[in-house]
Structure 1
Amino acid sequence: MDKFETLTGIAAPMDMINIDTDMIIPKQFLKTIKRSGLGVNLFDEMRYDDDGREIPDFVLNKPQYRDAEILVAGDNFGCGSSREHAPWAIKDFGIRCVIAPSFADIFYSNCFKNGILPIALPQEQVDVLMKDAEKGANARMTIDLEGQTVTTSDGESFGFEVDSFKKHCLLNGLDDIALTLEKGKAIDRFEESAAQSRPWV
């Protein structure tokens, strides 16, 4: 998993509440267990028409937001089913941070496991960031995970809370497998000791 330390990038405004995981990645794209290749279908039903053509008015189809790395959204982001494909699609598109007033719990946890930083901020602060994102590609936000701040293109800064363990994992690029491998030597010692003391197992 890639480390997340600081990020300065384009923020796409998506001023909608209750964006659920089926909107993020519709059910017909859940057949794969690969984490790559889903970005093209992110927000598929809002992004494309019935003939597969891009809908020009959808935010991520607009030229100024095609390279967005930050998404500013409405309340209750990631609600609905617990599909891990949702953060996979977001990450594969290139978005590393989602900012909203609140998140569904399972989606929130899945983000950290996939190298995405979800930031919950009060509605009034999200409103400021939404307006900043609406300025387009020339307005770049900065996310500082170590300092736990979000800074607008105009220099206005907001602090955010994040669990210390989740922060440690993101800063060091540690997913669940990497965390286990950190204990590899201790696991090997235990296995050797167990084999000697219980050879019948």
Structure 2
Amino acid sequence: MQPFTTLQAVAVPLDVANIDTDQILPARFLKKPRSAGYGHFLFHDERRRQQAVPLDEPAYAGAGLLVADRNFGCGSSREGAVYALVDGGIRCVIAPSFGDIFASNAAKNGLLTVTLPEETVAALRARLKAQPGATLTVDLPAQTVTDPHGTAIRFEIDPFKKRCLVEGLDDVALTLEHAEAIAAYEARVATEAPWRVPAAVG
């Protein structure tokens, strides 16, 4: 997982509440292999239906941040929605609230979710709409978002989630931190209870 420390990127304002995971990644694309990348399916239907997701506007080319309304990522618990955002170049989403499972999936895949008060997020979106293509800076170690005017806004984050994002630790990497203890346990079992060790195949 790619570590997340500091990100300065073009930010896209999304003035729609309750954006669900099916809007982020329509279900019919879940059968596609992850190895092919999900980025070109990001907001696939929404980008063709309306202007509320203006990712295709020239001002937002190469965007790395979304500033959304409340309850972003609600709906079904599809990890593919996070894949689509990350593969599409989005490393951070700022919103007043998130779907719980979406936020959990995001942290495990290198996508930072920043929760700020609703009025603060609305003010950020207004500034971004007034200046399309403006950048925000997110400093995860300092836990700040800096707006286009240079104002730093502090956010809170769970310390464990912060550590995993800063160090780029997914679930596999976290398990491998205990590799020596696991190996010692397996060696002890092989000696003390060999009947519990699976027989070699082949």
- The TM-score, its normalising length taken from structure 2, stands at 0.92
2-structure distance, mates of 1:79, 1:103:
7
> What is residue 14 of structure 2 aligned with on the other side?
14
Indicate if the aligned counterparts of 2:64 and 2:90 stay in contact, CA closer than 8 A: yes
SS of the counterpart of 2:94? strand
SS of the counterpart of 1:119? strand
Please say which of residues 85-94 and 149-158 is displaced more in the overlay: 149-158
Q: Runs (4+) of structure 1 moved beyond 4 Å?
A: 55-58
* 1:57 positional shift: 7.5
Unmatched 5+ residue regions in structure 2? Answer: 197-202
2-structure distance, mates of 1:158, 1:187:
42
SS of the counterpart of 2:28? helix
CA-based RMSD: 1.4
* 1:186 positional shift: 1.1
> What is residue 164 of structure 2 aligned with on the other side?
169
1:36 to 1:163, Cα distance in 2 relative to 1, 3 A: farther
Instruction: Report Cα offsets for 1:42-75 as digits up to 9, x if no partner.
Output: 11111136xxxxx777410101112110000010
1-structure distance, mates of 2:14, 2:27:
21
SS of the counterpart of 2:137? strand
Percent identity of paired positions between Structure 1 and Structure 2: 50
Of 115, 120, 124 in structure 2, the residue corresponding to residue 129 of structure 1 is 124
Listed as ranges, the matches of 1:97-116 within 5 Å are 97-116=92-111
Unmatched 5+ residue regions in structure 1? Answer: 50-54
Of 105, 108, 112 in structure 2, the residue corresponding to residue 117 of structure 1 is 112
Of 132, 141, 149 in structure 1, the residue corresponding to residue 144 of structure 2 is 149
* 1:142 positional shift: 0.5
2-structure distance, mates of 1:13, 1:155:
18
Listed as ranges, the matches of 1:67-78 within 5 Å are 67-78=62-73
Indicate if the aligned counterparts of 1:42 and 1:90 stay in contact, CA closer than 8 A: yes
1-structure distance, mates of 2:43, 2:178:
38
Indicate if the aligned counterparts of 1:35 and 1:89 stay in contact, CA closer than 8 A: no
SS of the counterpart of 1:71? strand
Instruction: Report Cα offsets for 1:83-112 as digits up to 9, x if no partner.
Output: 000000000000000000000100010000
- The TM-score, its normalising length taken from structure 1, stands at 0.93
Question: What amino acid is aligned across from residue 90 of structure 1 in structure 2?
Answer: L
1:100 to 1:57, Cα distance in 2 relative to 1, 3 A: closer
Alignment of 1:28 with 2:28, yes or no, is yes
SS of the counterpart of 1:60? coil
Task: Give the number of aligned pairs.
Answer: 195
Question: What amino acid is aligned across from residue 169 of structure 2 in structure 1?
Answer: L
Please say which of residues 55-64 and 128-137 is displaced more in the overlay: 55-64
SS of the counterpart of 1:200? helix
Listed as ranges, the matches of 1:46-61 within 5 Å are 46-48=46-48, 58-61=53-56
Question: What amino acid is aligned across from residue 39 of structure 2 in structure 1?
Answer: G
Of 190, 193, 196 in structure 2, the residue corresponding to residue 195 of structure 1 is 190
Question: What amino acid is aligned across from residue 164 of structure 2 in structure 1?
Answer: C
Instruction: Report Cα offsets for 1:163-191 as digits up to 9, x if no partner.
Output: 00000000000000111111111111110
1:90 to 1:168, Cα distance in 2 relative to 1, 3 A: same
